[in-house]
């Protein structure tokens, strides 16, 4: 196989590799975005469930405090009765202390119950906000998931088709050339470059005069001294109305 035939196949191969890279990037991007949304939806669901469980636990604690307050209220009534029936100063002082202690305990329990009620209200507000966010995301995901899944299927099919086309091209490339191509592609992302006027089309560095002359002779594939990509000479296309040296042709 002559050099020109190799270059033409490598150009096709480089084009397919660029398309495959773009398709793979799109596939990963679409898949990641879908995964992120689903993960967020799951996290919101977990947060909502945790809030609901927390509210139930706080309501249980508040219920116990209210039950304890009712019991204390009955006990307070009994203490007041004893105070009213006290027969001497000693009994009166003891009953009074009992009433004061019970009043303090009841006040503490009321404060705790009120605090828990505030926490429950805040937790319900947060849970409602979470549920709203989750519903909004769920609706958006439901609307876009089908389209995203369809696009992923299209990209997968394109990847498979281009993969087959790539294998056919690889079979036409001399093994030694293909090995060089693959080593460079895996390192650089792309493996092929050309030069028209002494500059590498990939890294844009100037090629040495000696190397440029060798490329012009087109006897073998060379490599850019700067980026190591396989390089070949491509004759510059003169603008319409000029000669190859860039001079305007006479009318």
Confidence of residue 82 (pLDDT cuts 50, 70, 90): confident
Q: Cα–Cα distance between 125 and 119 in angstroms, integer?
A: 10
Write the pLDDT tens digit of every residue in 240-250: 655 554 554 54
Write the pLDDT tens digit of every residue in 152-206: 999 999 999 999 999 999 999 999 999 999 999 999 999 999 998 899 999 999 9
* pLDDT at 107 > cutoff 50: yes
Q: Phi, psi at residue 173, to the nearest 5°?
A: -90, 135
| Domains of the chain, first to last | 30-170 (1.10.287.1490), 175-233 (no CATH)
Is 166:17 a contact under the CB 8 Å cutoff?
yes
Q: 67: which 2 tokens? A: 């039950």
Residue 219 is predicted with a pLDDT of: 81
Residue 105 is predicted with a pLDDT of: 92
Residue 241 is predicted with a pLDDT of: 58
Q: Cα–Cα distance between 213 and 245 in angstroms, integer?
A: 17
The pTM for the full model equals 0.64
User: If 0-12 CB within 10 Å is exposed, 13-18 middle and 19+ buried, where does residue 198 land?
Assistant: middle
Q: 74: which 2 tokens? A: 């009955």
Write the pLDDT tens digit of every residue in 128-153: 999 999 999 999 888 788 888 888 99
């Amino acid at each position: 196989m002559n050099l020109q035939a190799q270059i033409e196949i490598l150009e096709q191969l480089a084009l397919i590799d660029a398309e495959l890279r773009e398709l793979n990037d799109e596939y990963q991007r679409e898949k990641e975005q879908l995964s992120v949304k689903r993960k967020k939806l799951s996290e919101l669901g977990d947060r909502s469930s945790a809030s609901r469980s927390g509210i139930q636990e706080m309501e249980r604690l508040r219920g116990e405090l209210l039950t304890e307050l009712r019991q204390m209220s009955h006990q307070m009534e009994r203490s007041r009765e004893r105070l009213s029936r006290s027969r001497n100063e000693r009994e009166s002082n003891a009953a009074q202390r009992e009433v004061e202690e019970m009043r303090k305990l009841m006040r503490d329990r009321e404060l705790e119950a009120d605090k828990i009620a505030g926490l429950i209200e805040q937790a319900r507000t947060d849970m409602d906000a979470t549920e709203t966010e989750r519903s909004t995301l769920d609706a958006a995901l439901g609307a876009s998931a089908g389209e995203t899944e369809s696009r992923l299927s299209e990209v997968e099919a394109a990847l498979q088709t281009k993969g087959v086309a790539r294998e056919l091209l690889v079979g036409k490339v001399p093994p030694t050339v293909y090995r060089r191509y693959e080593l460079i592609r895996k390192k650089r992302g792309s493996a092929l470059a050309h030069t028209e006027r002494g500059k590498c089309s990939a890294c844009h560095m100037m090629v040495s005069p000696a190397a440029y002359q060798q490329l012009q002779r087109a006897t073998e594939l060379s490599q850019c001294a700067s980026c190591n990509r396989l390089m070949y000479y491509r004759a510059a296309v003169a603008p319409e109305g000029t000669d190859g040296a860039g001079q305007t042709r006479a009318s």
